[in-house]
Structure 1
Amino acid sequence: MLLFRWFHFKVVLVAGVGFFTDAYDLFAISIASIMIGLVYGVYLGIKVAAPAGTLVGQLLFGWLADIVGRKRMYGIELMLMIVATFGQAVSGGSLSVNVIGVLIVWRFVMGLGIGGDYPLSAVITSEFASTRTRGRLMTAVFAAQGWGTFAGPLIGWVVVTAFRRHSVHGDNFIKAEVDAIWRLIIGLGCVPAAIALYFRLTIPETPRFTMDIEHNVKQAQDDMRHAFHDRISSDHSEVEFTRIQAPSFGLRDFIAYFSRWKNLKVLIATSYSWFALDIAFYGLGLNNGLILTKLIPSSSSIGDYLSRICIGNLLISLPLIPGSYVCFFFIDSWGRKPIQLMGFTVLSIIFLIMGAAYVKLTGGAGTPFIVLYCVANFFQNFGPNTTTFIVPGEAFPTRYRSTAHGISAACGKLGAIIAQVAFSYLTYQGANDAESSAGPKRLGTVLIAFAFVMLTGVLSTLLLTETMQKPLELLSHDDGFISKDDVRVGERECDVISEPFPRPTLDRHGMDNRQPASRPGPIQRAAQNRPRLP
């Protein structure tokens, strides 16, 4: 039996290309900022702007996707990313406007688009997946982040190498050449986003949103037939569709739902876990170039120096890829919670070792430090970096799924912003000292602090509910919010039936409902297949 149908591969490809672009645009700045610093000087705002925009985008697009639908918002965030990425590549200054100020504005706008991609891609993938393979499908989408992070330094190395070979100045680049290099690296991020745009604009609305929120079962069936190129059949010649007056998105219902501890604790757990993870993931990831600057031997030319920075970033980011695919194979057998607990625990130990023995580990070529850094990146993706993306897309009801995912992800970006500011001032004793020969004197202390934060992530993970192999309807904890009296067929009250569609059809199309009939979920209440007896 195939794990995924062709439409599932399409979802992975379309959503994955977006995540590839997200990671490329976010983490390419680790290299580009070195080049920008050589030309214009070092500015903290360049690194903080994108995470700040991402935070706003996650909250805004997460909320809008629950109000107007996933399909209507999917693609808009990609347009923002394309325009803003191109804007960065052609950023210029004037007598009254600094080029850095323009660049910061464009990176904030790009962050808005990137932020929208998180809840939309997660929720769309989750709502199209079957219970049996939902974890793997979402992991496959998120794995594209590792490829995007790896592609940044790879493209950087290719561009730098090309300039080294064809520059009339050889390895001794002039400022104009360095300026052109970072613009090319950033600007190429438009290409994958443009490729995916058409497919995002034409993807159908998820069946769960159409039935749970819009209460349009017929449209959901039509969308499924179109998406999967086959017929969603029924054993009956006539089908009566049941509709419900389920709670819609609203502040009062939102407060009522999350005022219950069993619901609130899940949101707290997903939000804080992501917050803790991103403090280290972005705190280090966006500063790879600066960390490597202190480990790479001095070079006689700018070209050689930039080439070594790119190669070092390649080595550090490479373990993210196998980490994602190891997680892919275990996510639906081990479970989300055990993998997240393991990841946070291992990262706590690794960061503690890296921080406590920083001076010894970075002696000479710094090989032991680089090796530990690579191991940490492996367990980032075979651990909380993947699971913090998956769980919020599963653990909440359809009407708040995107909003809750956006809140969780935004907490992560808040951690990223705090990490950038703290990393800059603790490591370099202020942004103005970033170029000083003293270097990151306090990096060991920062790593120890990261170890402590990872340990708090272990504690927040304990609040999570395991979501593996559980239908979204059971995980939503909707009991008590939709009563039997809300379920009607035409003008007649009816009993709830355990399955709206035949089980084989549901399992194929990602809508299986394996919960007992005594605990029906929104999809079961929203559509009933009932034969009309003669």
Structure 2
Amino acid sequence: MGLFTDAYDFFCIPPIMKLIGRMYYEDRPEPNKYEIPTGVVALMVSTTLLGTAIGQVVFGRLGDRKGRRSVYGVALMLMVLSSTGCGFSICRTRNCVLLSLGFFRFLLGLGIGGDYPLSATIMSEFANRKTRGSFIAGVFSMQGFGILASSAVTMVVCKIFWIASRNLNQDHTPEDADISWRLILMLGAIPAALTYYWRMMMPETARYTALVENNVLQAAKDMEKVLDVSMSQIAEDEPWPQDRPTYPLLSRKFFRRHGRDLFSCSLNWFLLDIVFYSSNLFQSQIYSQFLKLNDKDNVYKAAFKIARFQAIVAVCSTIPGYYFTVYFIDRVGRRKIQIMGFLFMGIVYFALGIPYHYWGQNTNGGFLFLYALTFFFANFGPNTTTFIVPAELFPARFRSTCHGISGAMGKIGALIGSLGVLWASNKKDYDRSMTIALVALGAVCLLGMVVTYVFTPETMGRSLEENENEGEDEEEDNEKRFFRCFAGANGRLNSSEAIAL
């Protein structure tokens, strides 16, 4: 539900910007009436993405220092409060509303950023190696339903206000429109708030308790709850060392062991988010000819059309792409799926961008089909795998930190890509600028395929400890003891079964 709420909060913004434009920019001269200035749109997008990048690094590090569970609750509560704050946005004058909304969207980004590394790390540390990929992908797939929910809520709210304003003057935006967008934003707090109790009742992951806190007894108690195995069946073969050797984050030893993996995860996520967020957040700019927006539409009808388009794309391509990954991730492997996704995304963006002038002059289903494929192969590809792989490659004491660093690089890429597409969509020579933008996105995808092929290791079917690549270090021997402590001589779990779990 954390990832569900993340997607809801991120992708409800395009129709909301249309509502805000109709509400606060009625006084702009033609032909820019109702259009929010490019700089304001860039500010709204940038604040959330920047907050997310900071939140991923900060909460990721706190997850390794203070524990996954407690920090997880803080991130969720921040999401709830900031979603509610976005809806209130303090005042009614244009500048004040936009500044207030930008501030609360930044705080919302911090909470969303915290949810990414902690959700992935917790799921990876609870899952077994045979189905770990499917479980993490299943968590991430809730983004698709979050996008669908944001579109559905927007359509329902707009339809209700639309019906309530039957005698609406097409040339004037009613005061009630100011309530509609606030309501859509505040409803995003509900699913997050409903899950807070269960997050707090969830035990700390046994890997963190044993490998980072060196508290094997507590880890065994937590595993007793999770696996439904009694304490009498959980025995420790060897005493756990209290002075476990370690090396600090960003040390020479860290870079020698994990620098290549951190580089690979960060760069792949950076490249993927350049493409994914620019296409998602600015669908109405790239595919404007299919939305048929015009100034004769009332305020609710315009937002309804954008939300409906997002919902159709989510149902037809986004959600199926996620569940193809859930099914194939532990059969085909992360690396192959990521390479395939980047390759097909690149091909489709070239097919969209090179003949963009033709597509703009001839509205047909072919363009929409290709557009849907970009989201299908993003989600049955790098958008999901870049979330999974960082949660599997790094040692327990660095896991959420490295996931947060990788994700933060992704959000920087999202910021660059979003501003680039926004710039292109506002050029006078629209067709030419959009051709350049879409072809550039295709080239970015092909670069991501090359980076994956050269640098990204396969993590399928291996335990987290194997993926750490600790070599013959004494530290690795200590981590193997973590598994043996759950394998009693007379218990149901033998050593091989415990390691598999």
Same fold per TM (> 0.5)? yes
CA-CA distance at 1:487 after TM superposition: 6.1
Counterparts of residues 104-183 of structure 1 (less than 5 Å): 104-170=102-168, 172=170, 174-183=173-182
Aligned residues of 1:249 and 1:400 also touching (Cα < 8 A): no
Corresponding residue for residue 30 of structure 2: none
CA-CA distance at 1:477 after TM superposition: 1.7
Aligned residues of 2:130 and 2:330 also touching (Cα < 8 A): yes
What is the one-letter code of the residue matched to 2:261?
Answer: V
Pick the aligned partner of 2:381 from 371, 380, 383.
383
Corresponding residue for residue 528 of structure 1: none
What is the one-letter code of the residue matched to 2:337?
Answer: I
Matched, 1:301 2:297: yes
What is the one-letter code of the residue matched to 2:251?
Answer: I
Take 2:184 and 2:3, find their aligned partners in 1: how far apart are those partners? 17
Matched, 1:231 2:230: yes
Question: Secondary structure at 1:199's aligned position in 2?
Answer: helix
Take 2:86 and 2:483, find their aligned partners in 1: how far apart are those partners? 53
Corresponding residue for residue 2 of structure 2: 18
What is the one-letter code of the residue matched to 2:408?
Answer: A
Aligned residues of 1:153 and 1:314 also touching (Cα < 8 A): yes
| Percentage of identical aligned residues | 36
Take 2:497 and 2:100, find their aligned partners in 1: how far apart are those partners? 46
Aligned residues of 1:232 and 1:505 also touching (Cα < 8 A): no
What is the one-letter code of the residue matched to 1:64?
Answer: L
- Give unmatched runs, 5+ long, in structure 1: 1-16, 430-435, 489-494, 515-522, 524-534
Q: Deviation string for 1:200-244 (max 9, x for gaps)?
A: 1221110000110111111001112233444254387x8653225
Counterparts of residues 281-360 of structure 1 (less than 5 Å): 281-299=276-294, 300-302=296-298, 303-318=300-315, 319-360=317-358
Relative to structure 1, is the Cα distance of residues 298 and 282 closer, same or farther in structure 2, using a 3 angstrom cutoff? closer
Matched, 1:502 2:487: yes
Corresponding residue for residue 446 of structure 1: 437
Take 1:475 and 1:60, find their aligned partners in 2: how far apart are those partners? 24
CA-CA distance at 1:95 after TM superposition: 7.4
Corresponding residue for residue 469 of structure 2: 477
Take 2:203 and 2:323, find their aligned partners in 1: how far apart are those partners? 28
CA-CA distance at 1:478 after TM superposition: 2.1
How many residues align? The count is 480
Relative to structure 1, is the Cα distance of residues 56 and 507 closer, same or farther in structure 2, using a 3 angstrom cutoff? farther
Relative to structure 1, is the Cα distance of residues 164 and 498 closer, same or farther in structure 2, using a 3 angstrom cutoff? closer
Aligned residues of 1:296 and 1:365 also touching (Cα < 8 A): no
Corresponding residue for residue 257 of structure 1: 253
Corresponding residue for residue 499 of structure 2: 513
What is the one-letter code of the residue matched to 2:388?
Answer: I
CA-CA distance at 1:483 after TM superposition: 5.3
CA-CA distance at 1:48 after TM superposition: 1.2
Take 2:357 and 2:348, find their aligned partners in 1: how far apart are those partners? 15
Relative to structure 1, is the Cα distance of residues 450 and 119 closer, same or farther in structure 2, using a 3 angstrom cutoff? same
What is the one-letter code of the residue matched to 2:449?
Answer: V
CA-CA distance at 1:368 after TM superposition: 1.9
Take 2:384 and 2:438, find their aligned partners in 1: how far apart are those partners? 21
User: Which stretch of structure 1 is more off in the superposition, 357-366 or 150-159?
Assistant: 357-366
Corresponding residue for residue 89 of structure 2: 91
CA-CA distance at 1:358 after TM superposition: 1.1
CA-CA distance at 1:288 after TM superposition: 1.6
Take 2:135 and 2:349, find their aligned partners in 1: how far apart are those partners? 30
Aligned residues of 2:14 and 2:306 also touching (Cα < 8 A): no
Q: Deviation string for 1:302-334 (max 9, x for gaps)?
A: 233332222111122221111111111100010
Aligned residues of 2:282 and 2:422 also touching (Cα < 8 A): no
What is the one-letter code of the residue matched to 2:336?
Answer: P
Relative to structure 1, is the Cα distance of residues 290 and 422 closer, same or farther in structure 2, using a 3 angstrom cutoff? same
What is the one-letter code of the residue matched to 2:486?
Answer: F
Matched, 1:268 2:263: yes
What is the one-letter code of the residue matched to 1:204?
Answer: P
Question: Normalized per residue, which structure has more helix?
Answer: 2
Relative to structure 1, is the Cα distance of residues 295 and 57 closer, same or farther in structure 2, using a 3 angstrom cutoff? same
Take 2:291 and 2:203, find their aligned partners in 1: how far apart are those partners? 49
Aligned residues of 1:247 and 1:481 also touching (Cα < 8 A): no
Aligned residues of 1:427 and 1:441 also touching (Cα < 8 A): no
Relative to structure 1, is the Cα distance of residues 182 and 459 closer, same or farther in structure 2, using a 3 angstrom cutoff? same
Question: Secondary structure at 1:169's aligned position in 2?
Answer: coil
Relative to structure 1, is the Cα distance of residues 454 and 511 closer, same or farther in structure 2, using a 3 angstrom cutoff? farther
Corresponding residue for residue 449 of structure 2: 458
* TM-score, normalised by the number of residues in structure 2: 0.89
- Give unmatched runs, 5+ long, in structure 2: 25-35
CA-CA distance at 1:497 after TM superposition: 10
CA-CA distance at 1:246 after TM superposition: 2.6
Aligned residues of 2:233 and 2:492 also touching (Cα < 8 A): no
Take 2:386 and 2:492, find their aligned partners in 1: how far apart are those partners? 30
Aligned residues of 1:246 and 1:482 also touching (Cα < 8 A): no
Question: Secondary structure at 1:332's aligned position in 2?
Answer: helix
